[in-house]
Amino acid sequence: MSLKTECNSVLSRVVKGSERVPGVVAMVTDRNENIFSGAMGDRSVGGDPITEDTIFAIFSTTKAVAGTAALQCVEEGLLDLDAPAKTYAPAIGELQVLEGFGADGQPKLRPPKTDVTTRQLLLHTAGLAYEFFNERYKKLSDDHGQVPVTTCTMDAIKTPLLFDPGERWEYGTNIDWVGQVVEGIRGKRLGQVMRERIFDPLEMNEIAFTRTDAMKAKTASIHARGEDGFLTPTDLALPDNPEVDMGGHGLYGTVPEYMKFIRMWLNDGEGPKGRVLRSETVEWAVKGALVPPQKVTMMPGVIPELTHDAEFFPGLAKDWSYSFMVNSEAAPTGRPAGTIGWAGLANCFYWIDRQNGLGGFWATQVLPFVDPVSFNGYMDFETAVYSEMMAAKAA
């Protein structure tokens, strides 16, 4: 079997049957170029065929791009990761710790014991969460008017901290605040910073917080999977021209454009039009940096229509870097220990294996997160890639 045959078999399987994904675009790259590229299914169920240049809401796969913009500030001596983040983004200094709710149901707040730092934001140890992964944030949303992060507004990220900064790892709106730190340093919108310092050097064109008309015309619909397993297209979309360029989740883009970003990390920070990051920055940025007992944990899905319980490789140790998950042990798919990667809410997934010079991206637009059809398809896709790689080495 060949890589193309094996991967296409996985894609073909997930777009068929009563429980399917509407459409999928998946790609694999080595350090030089894409070595597999495939697209199957529909942009919207029963609509136009999905294509390799389809635009996706890439959600939290945005985080690594915003993290890269922050690392550039560190390289230039403009950002001290251990200084209070309010030095660069004053609004974060207003956040208080949510201790619970009183008998009257009102939030009980107090000042944090220490200031939030940008290092804590990059590592998801600042105390912030998401309403779909945390019951207390969900209560703020249900009972106290907390604005959803998908509105891409400042009100959406002005949430209380759940614990004092540095206490533990909890996945949340941290990288949205990293975006605010970058804007405070650069004096520009985050999207403009990304365009000038990341996208243009990497020749990434169709990726942005605000879509052009041409991008809108080929955007895939986000689908909801009902309890019966069937898919319904929704009108959910991240806003164009948002109030805030959300470094945690706000980008639209194509898979080929993201592959260029993956290749930059495979190539020690080098891009086709020059260096995006120094090689020594890449070297430390990909290493897990949580301080025990901090560790990456399962994320409980508390809004069922948005997410199931979420965890990669249950039972295996996982760390967090700047800003990726790191699997501390070899994974059953074949990815080795030290590989970095992450995901986006509508079931987009990627990995970057610097040891083997290999990376991949799997893009669908389905809710809830960790959709069994899409997620298991992604796991099969990654497994097929490593299986073929090992077969080629043995030949």
Residues 189-200 pLDDT 10s: 999 999 999 999
Average pLDDT over residues 385-394: 91
Catalytic, 323? Answer no
Average pLDDT over residues 70-90: 98
Set out the domains of the chain in order of their start, with CATH numbers.
Answer: 3-394 (3.40.710.10)
Would you state the pLDDT for residue 18?
85
Residue 1 has pLDDT above 90, yes or no: no
Catalytic residue among 44, 63, 258, 318: 63
Q: Give all strands (DSSP E) within the chain, no chain letters.
A: 23-29, 34-41, 56-57, 97-101, 107-110, 207-208, 223-225, 231-233, 252-253, 270-271, 274-275, 318-320, 325-327, 340-344, 348-353, 358-363, 366-367
Would you state the pLDDT for residue 313?
97
- Apex 77 CA angle, 353 and 201, nearest 5: 50
Q: How many CA atoms lie within 13 A of 330 on its CB side?
A: 7
261-307 residue pLDDT tens: 999 999 999 999 999 999 999 999 999 999 999 999 999 999 999 99
Contact 150, 236 (CB under 8 A): yes
Would you state the pLDDT for residue 256?
98
Q: Whose CA is closest to 140, among 160, 170, 155?
A: 160
316-341 residue pLDDT tens: 999 999 999 999 999 999 999 999 99
- Biggest alpha carbon distance in the chain? 69
User: Which residues are paired to 49 by β-bridges?
Assistant: 42
Catalytic, 221? Answer no
Residue 113 has pLDDT above 80, yes or no: yes
User: Which residues are paired to 225 by β-bridges?
Assistant: 231
- The model carries a pTM of 0.98
**What is the pLDDT confidence band of residue 126, given thresholds at 50, 70 and 90?**
very high
Catalytic, 60? Answer yes
Average pLDDT over residues 161-183: 98
Rounded Cα distance, 172 and 251, in Å: 17
User: Which residues are paired to 28 by β-bridges?
Assistant: 36, 360
Helices (H), the chain: 3-14, 63-75, 118-123, 135-144, 154-157, 174-186, 190-194, 213-217, 255-266, 279-285, 372-394
Catalytic residue among 130, 137, 171, 386: 171
pLDDT above 90: percentage of residues in the chain = 97
Residue 395 has pLDDT above 90, yes or no: no
Catalytic residue among 44, 60, 321, 323: 60
Would you state the pLDDT for residue 393?
85
Tokens of 290: 């949580």
